[in-house]
A and B are shown apart, each in its own frame.
Chain A
Amino acid sequence: AQSVSQHNHHVILSEAASLELGCNYSYGGTVNLFWYVQYPGQHLQLLLKYFSGDPLVKGIKGFEAEFIKSKFSFNLRKPSVQWSDTAEYFCAVNAGGGKLIFGQGTELSVKP
């Protein structure tokens, strides 16, 4: 069965620190991969996505993610976090037919 695993449940960083959130997936077919973000009190919104081509994808607000097929990974990175990046981050894989399988989420707290 398809699954998504996020390595960290809660990450606490100071402003300007670098961020890397791990995501591994289990799916045998062609994958479309996503990172969604949920800011406090807001709805889930797309941060970035990988469909094909360049495995390094850039999203909004300075985030990027790298698809490494051999490692079944799609880690999210940001060189310098801001207090406004405090949110919950979800990795997801398209399991076919438009259905998204989500990881359990990583809560990021950025201290000013």
Chain B
Amino acid sequence: EAGVAQSPRYKIIEKRQSVAFWCNPISGHATLYWYQQILGQGPKLLIQFQNNGVVDDSQLPKDRFSAERLKGVDSTLKIQPAKLEDSAVYLCASSSTGQRNTGELFFGEGSRLTVL
């Protein structure tokens, strides 16, 4: 079974530039998550999708971050404009159990963003 795919693996940009990350979840997984992991910290949820609808985006800095999952499969996370504090690994995860999801997530390898 193919895992969660993410790209790019690494990205270096200057502050105020924009960046986009892509995620393709495990086939058939209805729920998709984007997490931000800052060095030395645990992952923090940014947004959760159920199919193509947003379940929770309460921690997403909406003035600069946006995410979409238009067809209920793959997803993109965009940052515009980037700030120095956005330097982090952006993790995508998916899970299969829908509304009664007990929280077992499958993670991709992450996209490491460095903002200079």
Contacts and interface: CB of A to CB of B under 8 A. Distances in A.
Interface of A: 4, 6, 9, 32, 34, 36, 42-46, 49, 51, 90, 92, 94, 97-105
Contacts of B45: 99-101
26 contacts: A4-B42, A32-B102, A32-B103, A34-B103, A34-B104, A36-B107, A43-B108, A43-B110, A44-B91, A44-B107, A45-B107, A49-B104, A92-B103, A94-B101, A94-B103, A97-B56, A98-B48, A98-B55, A98-B97, A98-B103, A100-B45, A100-B103, A100-B105, A104-B41, A104-B42, A105-B40
Given A44-B93, A102-B43, 19 more contacts: A36-B107, A43-B4, A45-B107, A46-B105, A90-B42, A90-B43, A94-B103, A97-B101, A98-B48, A98-B55, A98-B102, A99-B33, A99-B45, A99-B48, A100-B43, A100-B45, A102-B42, A105-B40, A105-B41
A97 B110 CA distance: 23
B31 interface: yes
Contact of B42 (A94, A97, A105): A105
Contacts, number: 64
| Count class of interface residues, chain B | 20 to 34
B56 A102 contact: no
Contacts of A101: 45
Contact of A99 (B42, B56, B104): B56
Interface of B: 3-4, 31, 33, 40-45, 48, 55-56, 91, 93, 95, 97, 101-105, 107-110
Nearest to A49: B104
A97 B55 contact: yes
Contacts of B3: 43
Contact of A43 (B48, B97, B103, B109): B109
A64 B55 CA distance: 32
A51 B105 CA distance: 14
B27 to A, nearest CB: 17
B42 to A, nearest CB: 3
